[in-house]
Amino acid sequence: MAVAGVFTATVSSYAETAISYAKKRNSESVKRGYRVLTEKAVLSSDFNQEVFDNVWQCWPEALRVKAEAASAEQRREMAFARYGLTPRPEAPEKPLQYVVDAEGNWTMNCFSCHGGSVYGKPVAGAPNNRFALQTLTEEIRKTKFRLGKPLSRMDVGSLVIPLGTTNGTTNAVVFGMGLMSQRDEDLNIIAAAPKKFVHHDMDAPAWWNFHKKPNIYIDGFAQKGHRGLMQFMMIPENGRDFFINHEDDFRDVYAYISSLRPPQYPGKIDAIMAEQGRVVFEQTCAECHGTYGSTPTYPNRRIPINEIGTDPVRLTALEVEGRKKYARSWFAHANEDEEQTTVVDPDGYVAPALDGIWASAPYFHNGSVPTLWHLLNPSKRPNVWRPASEEFDDEKVGLTTKVEQKVPFTELDAAIRRSYFDTSRFGKSNSGHDYPAELTETQRRAVLEYLKTL
Ligand code: HEC
Ligand code: HEC
């Protein structure tokens, strides 16, 4: 069942709790960090307002007819919905995911992947599970051709590197590898022969657990530091000096990301069942995922790939050589006085902290499992599914999904085709993590209730 009326009524309150929580720890640095992300373009611009305002003209006919009859405001909402963009929580006239300057130039920012909507409410730091980067880029390119505008870095780059084949996931790790292959360890640009990469899509992790982690990424290979956060800026236009000159900005971004905490579950929770769930969780799950409540623990445990059994592509796509180069590079030396701890040959994935887990569907690093109920019932996970609406499924705790037989490959609207998640495709398996299988039905229900409290 989808959202109950009660749920919608209370849903705005968690955005407010998250904001007031952030305010409490709002040092000047945290505030500056958010401003850097939303107001300071650190890449070359992707497109301008005129191009964005005209993008609807290349939509499939039915949608185009609707857009033509709509007001400018409604058209903008349609475009936001199509591409997975949201208004900025504190400045709804601007998008959260792009910096828009006074001249109307749009430049992608970190929130394009790390700021989405939690069931209809924009939340900075929540994974953007609707971002349609591939479709947006293709349609912007078409629009530029039509208007006779020059192409940008992304328009051309996307002809070489796939951006993301399923909405809400991106080939982001490979963007980083591709760009780094064109730099030396001090970030000087070098003329290296193009390398071949193993393309694969990932679901961005929520930022609100960053403060708990000593190392980041699903394999936990990289030590946390402000320099590592700057990898996103490695376009050829940004030379080594650009990085050095922006270190202070990214110290602030680091402070901002560290200040985030998850939104609280806005619906009803059965306290007795949740308490039973806590007991089961602490017996079966806590050794990897830690404990919660007043004295939380986070074990930061890496589980060998053969044991965890989730999709292995991400682990092997990043080669030991690449990790070694990262370990030697400027990015990995943010804190010179500390011994660095880049793990160059991780053997599996690190169990993530589960705070706010209800709000960050879909699940696993590749986003292959739509709800927590499916995560807890490994044999019932759907092979092909798509989000049926933006509404929260409060019974299964996650996306309201439609299970499908197969992807309609003849569907001409790429935006629709890419809304299907097909677990038979490379890098998209939903297998593994069979730990919940040993629980009884009652125990699983109790754990599901408990997970809402985190
Ligand atoms: C195109 C999408 C995309 C953009 C843009 C992006 N990221 Fe990410 N980010 C990802 C993905 C996917 C991962 C997961 C990578 C992994 O685990 O291997 C990630 C991981 C991270 C993590 C590690 C989180 C954790 O808990 O392990 C941090 C921190 C992070 N990104 C910061 C940033 C910052 C800062 C920016 C902007 C300067 C940025 N990202 C831009 C997609 C993106
Ligand atoms: C032996 C270690 C281990 C145990 C035991 C374990 N997990 Fe996990 N869990 C992991 C790892 C590793 C991942 C990351 C897998 C991936 O993304 O590929 C994970 C992922 C998850 C996720 C998805 C997180 C996300 O952000 O997408 C949830 C939810 C979860 N586990 C819940 C549980 C519950 C509930 C239990 C107990 C019934 C449990 N886990 C037991 C290691 C474990």
pLDDT at 14 (0 to 100)? 44
114-138: per-residue pLDDT in tens?
999 999 999 999 999 999 999 999 9
Q: Which of 144, 236, 231, 154 is nearest to 188 (CA)?
A: 236
Q: Are 115 and 260 in contact (CB under 8 A)?
A: no
- Please give the number of the atom of ligand 2 that sits closest to the Cα of 350: 12
Instruction: Tell me the residue type at 185.
Output: E
Most confident of 175-184, 234-243, 361-370: 361-370
Q: Which of 271, 229, 443, 262 is nearest to 353 (CA)?
A: 262
pLDDT at 26 (0 to 100)? 65
The pair of structure tokens assigned to 317 is 């796509």
> Ligand 1: distance of its center to the CA of 444 in Å?
31
Query: Which segment of 6-15, 86-95, 188-197, 228-237 scores lowest on mean pLDDT?
Result: 6-15
| Mean pLDDT, range 54-67, rounded to an integer | 96
d(C-alpha 273, C-alpha 281), whole Å? 12
Residue 354: CB atoms within 10 Å: 21
- Residues with Cβ within 8 Å of 151's Cβ and at least 6 positions away in sequence, in order, are 141, 144
What backbone torsions phi and psi does residue 152 show, to the nearest 5 degrees?
Answer: -110, 180
Examine residue 362 and say whether the peptide bond preceding it is cis (omega within 30 degrees of 0).
yes
Q: Which of 397, 374, 398 is nearest to 384 (CA)?
A: 374
The pair of structure tokens assigned to 255 is 């402070």
Q: Among all chains, which residue has been given the structure tokens 């376009």? A: 235
* Residue 9, pLDDT above cutoff 60: no
- How many residues are given for the chain? 454
The pair of structure tokens assigned to 17 is 């709790």
The pair of structure tokens assigned to 410 is 């003849």
- Please give the number of the atom of ligand 2 that sits closest to the Cα of 287: 5
Best of 232, 316, 342 for a ligand 1 pocket test (most atoms within 8 Å of beta carbon)? 232
> CA 135 from chain center: how many Å?
17
Q: Which of 403, 349, 394 is nearest to 373 (CA)?
A: 394
Q: Which ligand is nearest the CA of 163, by number?
A: 1
d(C-alpha 395, C-alpha 268), whole Å? 11
Percent of the chain with pLDDT over 90: 83
Q: Which ligand is nearest the CA of 41, by number?
A: 1
> Ligand 2: distance of its center to the CA of 152 in Å?
40
- Please give the number of the atom of ligand 1 that sits closest to the Cα of 318: 18
| Mean pLDDT, range 88-98, rounded to an integer | 93
| CA count, 13 A, side-chain hemisphere, 386 | 14
Residue owning the nearest CA to atom 19 of ligand 2: 351
Residue 329: CB atoms within 10 Å: 19
68-88: per-residue pLDDT in tens?
999 999 999 999 999 999 999
Residue owning the nearest CA to atom 17 of ligand 1: 217
* Residue 2, pLDDT above cutoff 60: no
Q: Which ligand is nearest the CA of 292, by number?
A: 2
> CA 46 from chain center: how many Å?
20
Q: Are 436 and 376 in contact (CB under 8 A)?
A: yes
* Residue 408, pLDDT above cutoff 70: yes
pLDDT at 217 (0 to 100)? 97
d(C-alpha 11, C-alpha 214), whole Å? 32
262-274: per-residue pLDDT in tens?
999 999 999 999 9
d(C-alpha 139, C-alpha 292), whole Å? 45
Residue owning the nearest CA to atom 19 of ligand 1: 204
| CA count, 13 A, side-chain hemisphere, 95 | 29
What backbone torsions phi and psi does residue 247 show, to the nearest 5 degrees?
Answer: -60, -45
